[in-house]
Structure 1
Amino acid sequence: MKPIGFVEEEKKGSIFIYYSKKALSVSRGIVITSLEAIEEQTDQITHWTPNVYRYGEYTDSSRLVVKGHFEKNLRQINTFVVDIDSKENHEGEIILACIDQLGFMPTLILESDFGYQVYFVLSTPAYVTSKSNFKVIEVAKRISMTIRSQLAKQLVGVDIGCNHFGIARFPSKRNIVYYESENQYSFSEWINWSMKQAFDQKTEKKGKLIVFPEKKAYCQVDEPWFDLLLRKADIIGGEGRLGRNNVIFTLSLAYFSSGYSQETCAYNMFEFNERLKEPLTEKEVKIIIKSAYSSNYQAAQRDFILELCQEWIASDIQEKELFTQRRGWWKFKKPRDQRKYNHQQEWKADLMRYLDQVEAQGEGYIESTRKELQEEIGIPTRSLDRLLKELRKERKIFYHSKRGKGGGIILMSIRMFLKQCLKRTREKQQAYLCRLKQLFSVMSEELEMLLAPYAKQEYKSEQLDLFEANTG
């Protein structure tokens, strides 16, 4: 019973803890409603739910078997957890993958018997409400999926399909290999990042678009003629007529001009060929597709498409029935070797790729003359100067130039700098930092500030700090 006018000041919610993996497998656990209860049992807990649920229940009178950790019972999301089922990566490689693929650092890395678990703790929780039809959960799942997909590009064993907000290993002095409480980001930051990744992937998939003067993008595979020809099964060959070879070539050009990969095109063309009453050999189809993707052609020609459709669809079919766009000129992005001016972003990628290749040996930095660097990347002098300043401003490189005889450029990517630091013990790190300060004329404060969030640290008796972070 509660008095009239009673207002509950704080809803803490519930989490679930387990004392062994065996107990977890049969759902034998404890429902916890306070941080104090967790802190009292840190040495016994092996698994937990790092995200908070509205309530937890027991299914038996002995209060041993728990239930309630299902998605729609989530009250707040505190953290994203990535499970890595492989020991091929060590914690230093995981941190570098986070830098490369996410641009966000992990808060915590735990080591298990067969791999690692990576925690990304939110600076403030994302609250789940029924009024919003639990949309926060869907958004958070998209973010979690994007994190896993991105890390899987660089790390072995990332579990893409496991429960996004389920049970994870409990952090303790036995399994924490990396912990930095400052590495916490807001839910809105993760949303913006996830949206950017989705946009970039969409752009990559579309690839080459056909652009009209009014800047309207259009893909040939979306035109009515494409579907009409793709579904036609009675196309045959023969001298003096446009036949199956021409149709497969035209459809392949449509895939190419619309930005689809050659593998996707081949898959669909083999299926199309199998549906034909008189199919070509697999070798012939491969040759046609290869020709379409040779970059000797830009797109399927409208007049040729009209002829094909009048031959195989209907002799009286008109342009307006086949094309959604009016006639216009098509603008394609030229291959890079045919362009007079390269984009700044391409030069940046070239330089960073060059540094990755060269710096893989020795101390991680390179010494070169400007002329050698220009020739290696193929960039004009002024553009190189501007590029180096821009990359330094973006905190992607260190560089120092010396004029006169024996002069040149000393250059190092910050990614490689972090990798070299992570490979060294704390004592060797200090000697390495001193050498870099002299080489690049960098102030101690700048280097220490850069290294602080990434340096590997051991936490033997400070695991309780995890619960002092305000995650709701």
Structure 2
Amino acid sequence: LDRDRNLNLVNSSIVLDDHILPTLALKTDKGYQIYYILDRPAFLSKHKNGSMPVLSAARKISENIKSTIMEKIPATDVGCNSFGIFRIPREDNIIFFEPELTYSFAGFLMWSKSVTQKSKEKRKSNLKVINSPHSQYRKQTDQAWFRIMLTKHNIKPGQGLGRHNTILTLALACYSSGKNQNDAFNLLDEFNSYLEDPLDVRDMQRCVRDAYSGDYKGASKLYIDELIDTWATPDEKRIVVQESNVQWYKWAKPRTERVYSHVSEWLNDVIELINKVSSGADKVIMSTRAIRDTLDISPSTLNRVMKQAISSNKLIVKKGKGNQASQIATLEMVLRALYRKREAESIAWVNYLEAFLKLQNRQYIEEQSVFSDVEGIDDEVDRFGTNISTG
């Protein structure tokens, strides 16, 4: 049996992060069931808004356990119900049992958070923020896996992710892509009707309703990969892999469509305001209250913006004494001031040479003494015994 040949791989894969061992392992007809048992129950409490944080945390812990094992054993059933009924342990199916190996819910929660954080960092390294609204990667319904799964008519229960999980995943993709719930139902009702063994209509309706409940953000990559691995042909799998190798994309909404603005956006607003108020001056005297009132920005946000602006040298701020407003200059204003200073010094230099060296050709002096090497003129100055300072 493939099950028995893979036992060594199972034994090495069910130890989470090299220190969390299972409490119980059972042998079934087609594989193995692994149990990680808590030292005491985690009691549910329902908040006023209807949420049950302990239930959500337990579901996330279960998903992270399955995804962690699946990295080593691709045949892991990630679609199994996290709170379902499991096989009853018997003397003939227990292959491992150690009652002392139990864990606290808080300990599992900390482990799950670390797994989630690592997964986020891995996804973030492959993210590319783009602003164009035209791309096949914008919506899950436009991706290859979605189109491929809609063509599958041989999906049956009892083999990996079955009909229920397939329709729920497709419905979640419709939800995350902004498709109307009725349109999603019609699409999936047609898909279900073409299945060789269709799902009951009421169950299909429940899948769509759950997908649009607001409890989920979209189809999970874990489930998408499992669906493709189970039902796609080798050529179709290559298409999905080629698309996923391009990159995962994260879409930046226009600022007008967001409730909150990024610090970088507020920073640009502050810089534009200071440049506008300066009217060509080297600096402006402006209080933070005036900036807040003009931009309608909160004090805490403005404080973060100013700290970032100063640390990145995009703003020069000289605090006023007492209740006096600060003197503020942007990088553009500083460069403009330096240019004017250099221009003034250049003119003074030319005037000095005309007056004291008696050189009549002003254009020649500008080209040779101000904007190029001055070694020849230095020799001329030395002959007159004059010390020249440019300030």
Question: Which bracket does the TM-score occupy, shorter chain normalised?
Answer: 0.3 to 0.5
Structure showing greater radius of gyration is 2
Higher share in strand: 1
Higher share in helix: 2
TM-score, normalised with respect to structure 2: 0.32
**More contact order relative to length (CA 8 Å, sep ≥ 6):** 1
